[in-house]
Amino acid sequence: MFGLFGVECALILIALCNILAFSAFKKEKNYNRLRSERISQVTISDRVMIVEAPLNIYSKKKKTSIYYSLLNNILGVDVNSSLYKSTYVIKISSIIVFIITIISFILGYFLDRVAVESSPLVDIAIIRIYFLRIHGKYNAKLIEQLPEAVFMMSRCLKVGVSLSRTLEIVSQQAPEPTKNLFEDVVHKVAVGKELGEALEDLAGNGGIKEYRFFSIIVRLQSRTGGGLAEILESFASTIRKRTQAKKKAIALASEARTSCYVLAGLPLFMAGLMSFMNPKYIAVLYTTPSGIKMLYAAIILFVMGISSMIFITKFTLRS
């Protein structure tokens, strides 16, 4: 009875998550389309301006806030970031949910539906880990490209180019994904938003402290005046030195990371080898009540051990 109830809850939760994700990102796609049309109408003089467009934009944004709050909590990242497109998130999430559900039903045949009952939790955990990994790579790429973009701004300011024109040049010549962030700033300034507010949005969308420092530097110097080019050049040099030091630390920790991978794969390898050589010996773990409890305890300890090793070898390098 409990097994059937767990299967029904799992299927309902999976369907609900997909429906909410699809609905939210369809509205986000419409929001982006209306926003692009509004920007084109303002920046191009031979088009007629439509007053209703921004009203529709803000109303749709308010309506979808609850969806984005739910998705942000599930995925652990900001889905409004330029990294995540509607079709991208929906496709990846649907593929992961489908694969984990099929595997859970197959394992549930042997584990008395225990795997099926835990399928939603496994889906959410894997999707969250996947998007956190993608988000980490995205942020690392932004930090790596930031010094070159700031040096480009410094060179333009030294030859007398205005700050707004400098941001436009960076948005055109910078590589992806830095180009997208500066394009967003240029578009917001073009439709009448203040430069300080646009830079605050840039720091918030990136979610990176280096971009917050960059935003503070540009906003303060644009208000008070002074040698912005020299300050940006010094800031870029500092960021580049920190990036190089972090790469050296990662290289020095490569041996520990390799040991972490070996220790993580060893229990799985031994379990598979024992299942192949002597299936009856390993079958005790999923055919008897005490064996199932031991299996759960082993999985919990395994996850705790992997998490601690990842924290020691990776996250401590951020400091």
**Each residue's pLDDT tens digit, 111-150:** 555 545 555 666 667 777 777 777 778 888 888 888 898 8
Domain-wise residue ranges, the chain: 2-37+63-140, 142-242, 244-317
The pLDDT of residue 61: 45
Over the stretch 234-278, which tens digit does the pLDDT of each residue have?
888 888 888 888 788 777 777 777 888 888 888 888 888 888 888
Distance of alpha carbon 77 from alpha carbon 222, whole angstroms:
32
Confidence of residue 184 (pLDDT cuts 50, 70, 90): confident
Query: How far is 257 from 314, CA to CA, in rounded Å?
Result: 8
Question: Are residues 282 and 274 in contact, defined by beta-carbon separation less than 8 angstroms?
Answer: yes
Per the model's pLDDT, the better-predicted residue between 228 and 250 turns out to be: 228
**What is the rounded CA–CA span in Å between residue 315 and residue 207?**
17
- The interaxial angle of helices 2-43 and 119-158, nearest 10 deg, is 20
Assign 57 a pLDDT band (cuts: 50, 70, 90): very low
Q: What's the rounded mean pLDDT across residues 49-65?
A: 42
Q: In whole angstroms, give the CA distance from residue 53 to residue 58.
A: 9
> Which of 83, 105, 96, 84 is closest to 17 using CA atoms?
96
Domain 142-242 is found in CATH 1.20.81.30: yes
Q: Which residues contact 180 (CB under 8 A, 6 or more apart)?
A: 82
Per DSSP (E only), the strands in 58-178 are none
Query: Minimal CA–CA distance to 14: which of 118, 116, 120?
Result: 120
3-state SS assignment for residue 319 = coil
Give DSSP secondary structure letters for 158-196. Answer: HTT--HHHHHHHHHHHSPTTHHHHHHHHHHHHHTT--HH
Q: H-helix or E-strand containing 281?
A: helix 279-282
- Confidence (pLDDT) at 58: 39
